[in-house]
């Protein structure tokens, strides 16, 4: 299923940050940490403080065993949290549960 989902997302080009996050999650589930990291990098290239991009970057780093990169992404996410939430970015509402879990997880580490 994952290869079909990835192909479907890629057919929607150009991808929004929201679509890139979703694609990155599919890639993580499929074990493609490189693709997941690339999606996080693309999100962050457009907005370096994007909470979903930072969350995805941390998860991709965890998946490839890069604890330092995961920790750095989580620290950036916590530092950006208030300003980013105030920005009213629609995908933050759509992925509110993901963000809550990522932020709570970052705080507890």
Reported as a single tens digit per residue, the pLDDT across 5-64 is 767 777 777 889 999 999 999 999 999 999 999 999 999 999 999 999 999 999 999 999
pTM score: 0.91
pLDDT in tens, 50-103: 999 999 999 999 999 999 999 999 999 999 999 999 999 999 999 999 999 999
Q: Note the pLDDT of residue 3.
A: 74
Query: What are the φ and ψ backbone dihedral angles of 2, each rounded to 5 degrees?
Result: -60, -45
CA distance 9 to 63: 21
* pLDDT at residue 100, rounded to an integer: 96
With H, G, I as helix, E, B as strand and everything else as coil, classify residue 74.
helix
Return the higher-pLDDT residue of 89 and 1. 89
Looking up tokens 């993580």 gives 28
DSSP class of 76: H
């Amino acid at each position: 299923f994952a290869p079909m989902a990835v192909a479907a997302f890629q057919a929607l080009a150009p991808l929004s940050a929201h679509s890139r996050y979703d694609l990155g999650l599919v890639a993580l589930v499929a074990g493609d940490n490189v693709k997941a990291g690339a999606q996080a990098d693309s999100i962050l290239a457009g907005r370096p403080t994007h909470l979903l991009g930072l969350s995805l970057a941390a998860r991709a780093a965890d998946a490839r065993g890069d604890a330092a990169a995961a920790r750095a992404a989580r620290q950036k996410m916590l530092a950006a949290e208030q300003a980013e939430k105030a920005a009213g970015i629609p995908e933050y509402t759509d992925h509110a549960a993901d963000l809550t879990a990522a932020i709570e997880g970052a705080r507890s580490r």
